[in-house]
């Protein structure tokens, strides 16, 4: 077989395969255009997305508008019944099969047969095949269009509808041309051939009269090869003037035989008639009907390519938007991006590199509000007429991340502002002033954000504290860990996301982590880890070699699901003065069972460690905690209580006496370092910064207490700097 013919066959098969894949049923490509006021679960199988439910299908059929008419909802539900889903599968299969056969036949005629060889009339079998395919496509197409389109406007408000409408128009044009060709044009071409003068015996056969000898209606069948005429009438392989459905009598086979598996020797088996006369030529002897047929054949081929183009635009998109954007949020979002690209390029480039940008979550998607909302910023109206929220809260994020927002809302992180006020002497006794609170405590724990007349109250904003109390009554800030405007998952998984708050003499978790074996491995190899795998499942061994803060406290492990509630997996409250179980922590009693949470944490460890190693570690931690409670905290607390009861220490306010400072730092500094060092395997912090310092502290407290008991005279500070003033 010739290389040219082989390439043509490969091309034909490739086109058909591409068509099959291109015409597969896919989801709509338009973005949801209106805010429904419903959660993701209204349209999708899961609260975080997933396959569409009846409501989602109806939402699409309604042009991405809400509310949805009952008629469209009923139709969507009706079409999701097992009967109709089965029927739609069968009809869709027949539709696709008919399209492949019909289009394939047209490709075959143009590539292998050539339309000019059918100018004597379209063979009966080809006519039957064409009519059958067109009828099948029409009937099945009507049903599939009815099932997919619920209103006339659906053809024009999304890419799928527009491409479907254009495809239907092309199909109708192709059907019209096909019907015209197999009826009127077919009869005219037959008549044109019949009108040719029948050659008398002995007359020379020319290319113009060759078509008469087509082997039909008891006429002789002649073919020409290398200007020689052969009579194939008696050959059993040329019944009715057709050779295996591929060649017809009355044709010049010189070019066709070049790619055939045999040579001219086959003509030795048929009768030689003579030389073709040099008079006339088919190219110059075509009738009007024959010329019209050839033009229509090529027109149908062009229409097929245009139909495939429509399917490709629907399936894979188009560089130019086909439907004008009318959504208010999309128009506003584009305006925001264009403006902030110029005035705040840092914000723009952060957002541009984020997942949000890739899924069309623009500024307005998160900042949109109304003028009555207590988050509304009046200042922004000077630049843009659309009302925007100055503060983006977890309630906003919950629109797309409801599970994460719900977990965060019940976590200790979200309640740190409340916890701080319940336990902190600095705040309750007014021992630090406003700026010290704003720049220190509130930066991590959060503020109560207040807006007056659309403008923030000084000291309450800006703030991204994890326990921030927002004007919409939500708690916290997602950007504490996923910093704006990139909101990176990879960033939140790294220990640096936590070290902005968890550091220093009172809670040096990052210093402890850096000293531990885990931290050592992270700093040595972490730059090569996969922080954001494609499947979203961050797995030990595959993506990282040693855990980070997020690994132990939040990420999924074995049978433990991912969580944004950092209260989970804790068996002790290590930051409390006296180490207690989370449920016994008075400022924020956790609704957890420490045994269950301990088992969760062990599952994290077991990803890399043996059961014996894991059990031994937690046994060591429990022993260190027991040592702190019994040896250092409880005896010293009892001593302090006795001094208060004896009137040797003042209860007026905290930090106005030296012993109160000493006792505070015993549990708030060295006590925490000892316990946390043991928990996170940092021996320097467990001993030298922990228990070693505790020994010094307890000795000093005992000495000062003895002197106080001996002198029987309280010693209050006469001056105390930086007190809070209203």
Query: What pLDDT is stored for residue 438 in this prediction?
Result: 93
Contact between 634 and 580 (Cβ < 8 Å) = no
In angstroms, the CA 529 to CA 544 distance is 5
Conformational region of residue 226, where left means phi above 0, alpha means psi within -120 to 50, and beta covers everything else:
left
- Find, among 69, 52, 67, the residue nearest to 151 by Cα: 69
Burial class (CB in 10 A: 0-12, 13-18, 19+), 39: middle
In angstroms, the CA 540 to CA 558 distance is 10
Contact between 44 and 57 (Cβ < 8 Å) = no
Query: What pLDDT is stored for residue 363 in this prediction?
Result: 87
**Extended strands (E) in 363-520:** 451-452, 455-456
Tell me: pLDDT of 324 over 70.
Answer: no
- Find, among 568, 587, 591, 575, the residue nearest to 415 by Cα: 587
Tell me: pLDDT of 26 over 70.
Answer: no
Place domain 523-711 in its CATH homologous superfamily: Hydroxylamine Oxidoreductase; Chain A, domain 2 (1.20.850.10)
| Highest mean pLDDT: which range of 18-22, 59-63, 92-96 | 92-96
Question: CATH number of 207-278: 3.30.365.10, 3.10.120.10, 3.40.50.1700, 3.60.15.10?
Answer: 3.10.120.10
Tell me: pLDDT of 87 over 50.
Answer: yes
In angstroms, the CA 367 to CA 374 distance is 13
Query: What pLDDT is stored for residue 27 in this prediction?
Result: 39
Query: What pLDDT is stored for residue 282 in this prediction?
Result: 41
Query: What pLDDT is stored for residue 369 in this prediction?
Result: 85
Query: What pLDDT is stored for residue 414 in this prediction?
Result: 97
Contact between 575 and 672 (Cβ < 8 Å) = yes
In angstroms, the CA 676 to CA 515 distance is 12
Contact between 298 and 227 (Cβ < 8 Å) = no
Question: Tens of pLDDT along 604-644?
Answer: 999 999 999 999 999 999 999 999 999 999 999 999 999 99
| Radius of gyration, CA atoms only, the chain | 41
Average pLDDT over residues 245-259: 79
Query: What pLDDT is stored for residue 332 in this prediction?
Result: 58
In eight-state DSSP terms, residue 68 is: P
Q: 3-class SS at 640?
A: helix
Query: What pLDDT is stored for residue 715 in this prediction?
Result: 83
Question: Tens of pLDDT along 465-474?
Answer: 999 999 999 9
Half-sphere exposure of 73 (CA within 13 A, CB side): 9
Domains 207-278 and 523-711 share a fold: no
In angstroms, the CA 304 to CA 314 distance is 16
Local confidence band at 534 (pLDDT 50, 70, 90 cut-offs): confident
Query: What pLDDT is stored for residue 196 in this prediction?
Result: 57
Buried residues in 195-209 as b, exposed as e (16+ CB within 10 A): eeeeeeeeeebbbbb
Ranges of each domain in the chain:
3-30+81-195, 207-278, 328-480, 523-711
Query: What pLDDT is stored for residue 283 in this prediction?
Result: 41
Local confidence band at 298 (pLDDT 50, 70, 90 cut-offs): confident
Tell me: pLDDT of 71 over 90.
Answer: no
Cα first-last separation, the chain: 97
Here the contacts of 630-637 (C-beta below 8 Å, separation 24 or greater) are 632/666, 632/671, 632/691, 632/694, 632/698, 633/577, 633/578, 633/579, 633/666, 633/667, 633/671, 634/578, 635/698, 636/663, 636/666, 636/698, 636/701, 637/577, 637/578, 637/663
Question: Tens of pLDDT along 334-363?
Answer: 778 888 899 999 999 999 888 888 877 888
Contact between 442 and 465 (Cβ < 8 Å) = yes
Higher pLDDT, 62 or 563: 563
- For the chain, the average pLDDT equals 85
Tell me: pLDDT of 44 over 80.
Answer: no
Would the pTM of this model clear 0.75, i.e. be above it?
no
């Amino acid at each position: 077989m010739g290389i040219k013919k082989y390439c043509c066959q490969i091309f034909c098969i490739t086109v058909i395969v591409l068509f099959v894949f291109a015409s597969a049923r896919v989801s709509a490509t338009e973005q949801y255009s209106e805010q429904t006021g419903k959660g993701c679960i209204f349209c999708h199988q899961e609260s975080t997305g997933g396959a569409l439910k009846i409501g989602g299908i109806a939402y699409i059929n309604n042009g991405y508008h809400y509310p949805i008419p009952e008629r469209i909802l009923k139709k969507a539900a009706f079409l999701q019944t097992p009967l109709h889903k089965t029927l739609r599968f069968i009809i869709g299969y027949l539709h696709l099969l008919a399209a492949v056969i019909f289009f394939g036949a047209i490709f075959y005629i143009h590539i292998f047969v050539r339309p000019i060889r059918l100018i004597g009339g379209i063979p009966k079998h080809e006519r039957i095949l064409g009519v059958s395919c067109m009828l099948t496509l029409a009937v099945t197409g009507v049903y599939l269009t009815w099932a997919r389109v619920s209103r006339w406007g659906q053809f024009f408000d999304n890419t799928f509808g527009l491409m479907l409408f254009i495809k239907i128009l092309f199909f109708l044009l192709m059907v019209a041309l096909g019907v015209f060709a197999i009826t009127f044009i077919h009869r005219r071409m037959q008549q044109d051939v019949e009108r040719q003068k029948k050659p008398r015996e002995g007359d020379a056969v020319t290319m113009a009269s060759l078509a008469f000898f087509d082997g039909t209606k008891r006429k002789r069948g002649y073919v020409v090869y290398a200007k020689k005429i052969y009579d194939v009438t008696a050959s059993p392989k040329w019944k009715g003037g057709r050779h295996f459905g591929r060649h017809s009598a009355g044709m010049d086979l010189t070019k066709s035989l070049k790619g055939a598996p045999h040579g001219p020797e086959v003509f030795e088996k048929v009768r030689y008639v003579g030389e073709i006369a040099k008079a006339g030529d088919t190219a110059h002897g075509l009738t009007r009907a024959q010329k019209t047929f050839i033009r229509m054949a090529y027109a149908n081929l062009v229409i097929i390519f245009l139909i495939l183009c429509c399917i490709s635009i629907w399936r894979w998109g188009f560089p130019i938007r086909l439907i004008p954007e009318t959504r208010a949020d999309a128009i506003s979002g584009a305006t925001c991006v264009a403006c902030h690209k110029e005035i705040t390029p840092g914000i723009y480039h952060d957002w541009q590199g984020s997942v949000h940008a890739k899924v069309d979550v623009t500024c307005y998607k998160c900042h949109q509000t109304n003028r009555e909302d207590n988050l509304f910023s009046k200042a922004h109206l000077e630049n843009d007429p659309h009302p925007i929220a100055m503060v983006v809260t977890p309630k906003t994020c919950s629109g797309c991340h409801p599970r994460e927002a719900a977990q965060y809302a019940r976590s200790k992180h979200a309640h740190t502002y409340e916890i701080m006020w319940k336990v902190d002497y600095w705040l309750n006794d007014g021992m630090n002033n406003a700026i010290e609170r704003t720049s220190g405590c509130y930066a991590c724990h959060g503020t109560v954000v207040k807006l007056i007349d659309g403008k923030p109250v000084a000291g309450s904003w800006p703030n991204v504290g994890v326990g921030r109390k927002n004007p919409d009554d939500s708690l916290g800030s997602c950007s504490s860990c996923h910093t704006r405007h990139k909101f990176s998952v990879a960033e939140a998984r790294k220990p640096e996301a936590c070290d902005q708050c968890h550091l220093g003499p009172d809670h040096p978790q990052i210093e402890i982590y850096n000293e531990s074996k885990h931290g050592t491995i992270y700093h040595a190899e972490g730059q090569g880890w996969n922080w954001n795998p494609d499947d979203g499942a961050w797995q030990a061994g595959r993506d990282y070699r040693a855990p980070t803060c997020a690994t132990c406290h939040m990420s999924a492990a074995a049978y433990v699901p991912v969580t944004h509630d950092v209260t989970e997996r804790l068996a002790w409250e290590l930051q409390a003065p006296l180490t207690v179980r989370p449920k016994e922590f008075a400022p924020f009693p956790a609704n957890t069972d420490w045994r269950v949470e301990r088992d969760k944490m062990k599952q994290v460890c077991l990803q890399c460690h043996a059961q014996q190693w894991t059990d031994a570690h937690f046994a060591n931690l429990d022993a260190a905690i027991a040592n702190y409670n019994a040896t250092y905290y409880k005896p010293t607390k009892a001593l302090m209580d006795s001094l208060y009861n004896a009137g040797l220490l003042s209860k007026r306010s905290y930090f106005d006496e030296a012993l109160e400072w000493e006792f505070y730092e015993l549990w708030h500094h060295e006590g925490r370092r000892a316990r946390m060092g043991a928990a996170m395997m940092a021996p320097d912090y467990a001993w030298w910064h922990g228990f070693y310092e505790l020994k010094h502290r307890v000795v000093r407290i005992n000495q000062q207490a003895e002197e106080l008991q001996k002198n029987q005279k309280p010693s209050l500070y006469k001056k105390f700097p930086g007190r809070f003033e209203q």
